[in-house]
Structure 1
Amino acid sequence: MISVVVPTYNEEQNIERCLASLADQTVPRDTYEIIVVDGDSKDRTRELAEPLADQVFIQTSKRVGGARNDGAMAAKGDIVATTDADCILPRDWVERIGRNFAERDIVQLYGTVYPIEDSFRNRLSLLGANTFSRLGYHTRTIYFTLGCNTAFDREVFVRAGMYRCIDAGDDLEIAQRMRKLGKVYLDPRLKVGFSMRRYQQFGTLKSLWEWFYIVLRGGEAGGATYSQREYK
């Protein structure tokens, strides 16, 4: 079984669309589970998620990484996949994850992204991110994994210590530990629709600059306002 973990916080505008795409997969619904881990939302996120998910509960750990960890600990599957509440998953996403782990000796899998809000600027921004991801993978220097489109061998993920509960860069950092325990594999055909809403709201350059700033600080935001939102 594959367990899909979706962290949420005040996502009533997006969660149904995300979970509907997860419910409409090319593999039977009983071969995977959907776990929504909520940061104590003040809106209807949990109410809307309940009919579409197998588990919905409030996280006990901190930050988005902590929500993913809580989901992994509640998971029944040998493979734990993670995505975001404002993403759209292609119909073959779960199937492709399962096939990669069945056919390859890997401990972590990740893919690429495309913008849900289609525009030249957004396509260019994510082209840069996907190019950086491919270069890092093929040069074996840095694995630019994204929490919205990655999957783990659950046993190895737990043994590695899971995500760090930091402000940003947790999805980048975990791959550096996973690669010490096995192969981390990039499947460029494993694609996810990625929302550019925060980049549009706060500016792409500012968002990227602050993300890099936080990562260089070891994941602590300091005075940066990268996410521009509360999260438990």
Structure 2
Amino acid sequence: MKVSVVIPTYNEEKNIGRCLESLCNQTMNRTEYELIVVDGNSKDATRDIARKYADQVIIQTRAKVGGARNDGADLATADIIATTDGDCVLPPEWIETVYQEFAAHPEAAAIYGTVYPLEYTIKNRINLGLANTFSRLGYYTKLLYYTLGCNTAFRRDAFMKIGGYKVCDAGDDLEIARRVVHEGTVRFCPKMRVAFSMRRYDQFGTLKSLYEWVHIVRKGGDSDECQYSKREYQ
């Protein structure tokens, strides 16, 4: 096994099949990677659908999204752990790109890439274009590694050594880069692209969603004032 892909889910029956189908139709042979779905005890058919595609489907034991990713990493059998989300769609070359990037850069502890909107509107293209620009600026200036949990991969030994993701409400995918960089380089790979769902921003508003994220991150990752995870979507 070369790559383990961890996918946290919660009430994703409308999206998880599409996500896992894209992960089953990769350019890398299906025997060379595994899919691990970690479910937050969904009340819908998420787990039933996931079992049709994934190698392992479990109910998470740790709290929040970071905890779910850590649960999945504990089950991973590969030397590379990649993470994405249950409402994303992965291009056919995504897993192979992850594997080749680590092979080409043995010093790397983590790699991350860009996102583009599943809901392809002008507003969403602009919003994610700005996010991708921020990712590039942060990487090339070495001021900030703007990783996203939907499109990041780690060497397993580095991930385990730092204790995985911080269990918090938001910002765990940003925070982890500040620790894993001490175990090797963190690389930005523009070829590593993921179709990202903008449903949060479409339903709750871009400014409100960004405000909540920034507010929680400034509070250290947890806040009683803002709810960011396990949202119910229309």
| 1:183-212 Cα deviation digits (max 9, x unpaired) | 000001110000000110000011011101
Q: Note closer, same or farther for the CA distance 1:228–1:84 as it changes in structure 2 (3 Å cut).
A: closer
Residue 54 in 1 paired to residue 55 in 2?
yes
Corresponding residue number in structure 1 for 2:71? 70
Number of aligned pairs?
230
* Secondary structure of the corresponding residue to residue 226 of structure 1: coil
Residue 47 of structure 2 aligns to which amino acid in structure 1?
R
Q: Give the drift of 1:216.
A: 0.5
Residue 185 of structure 2 aligns to which amino acid in structure 1?
K
CA RMSD of aligned residues (A): 0.9
* Secondary structure of the corresponding residue to residue 182 of structure 2: coil
Instruction: Tell me, in whole angstroms, the C-alpha distance in 1 between the residues paired with 2:157 and 2:144.
Output: 23
- Mapping of residues 4-15 of structure 1, within 5 Å: 4-15=5-16
Residue 67 of structure 1 aligns to which amino acid in structure 2?
A
Structure 2 unaligned segments of length 5 or more: list them: none
* Secondary structure of the corresponding residue to residue 108 of structure 2: coil
Q: Give the drift of 1:32.
A: 0.1
* Secondary structure of the corresponding residue to residue 133 of structure 1: helix
Q: Give the drift of 1:147.
A: 0.1
TM superposition score normalised by structure 1: 0.98
Instruction: Tell me, in whole angstroms, the C-alpha distance in 2 between the residues paired with 1:154 and 1:210.
Output: 31
* Secondary structure of the corresponding residue to residue 25 of structure 1: coil
Deviation >3 Å, runs of 4+:
none
Whether the 8 Å contact between 1:168 and 1:221 is mirrored in structure 2 is no
Instruction: Tell me, in whole angstroms, the C-alpha distance in 2 between the residues paired with 1:85 and 1:222.
Output: 25
Corresponding residue number in structure 2 for 1:146? 148
Structure 1 unaligned segments of length 5 or more: list them: none
| 1:98-125 Cα deviation digits (max 9, x unpaired) | 0000010200010000000000100000
Instruction: Tell me, in whole angstroms, the C-alpha distance in 2 between the residues paired with 1:227 and 1:205.
Output: 17
Corresponding residue number in structure 1 for 2:223? 221
Whether the 8 Å contact between 2:98 and 2:153 is mirrored in structure 1 is yes
Whether the 8 Å contact between 1:7 and 1:64 is mirrored in structure 2 is yes
Q: What is the aligned-residue identity percentage?
A: 58
Corresponding residue number in structure 2 for 1:133? 135
Corresponding residue number in structure 2 for 1:198? 200
| 1:63-103 Cα deviation digits (max 9, x unpaired) | 00000000000000000000000000000000000000001
Q: Give the drift of 1:228.
A: 6.4
Instruction: Tell me, in whole angstroms, the C-alpha distance in 2 between the residues paired with 1:169 and 1:198.
Output: 16
Corresponding residue number in structure 2 for 1:31? 32
Instruction: Tell me, in whole angstroms, the C-alpha distance in 2 between the residues paired with 1:136 and 1:102.
Output: 24
Residue 175 of structure 2 aligns to which amino acid in structure 1?
E
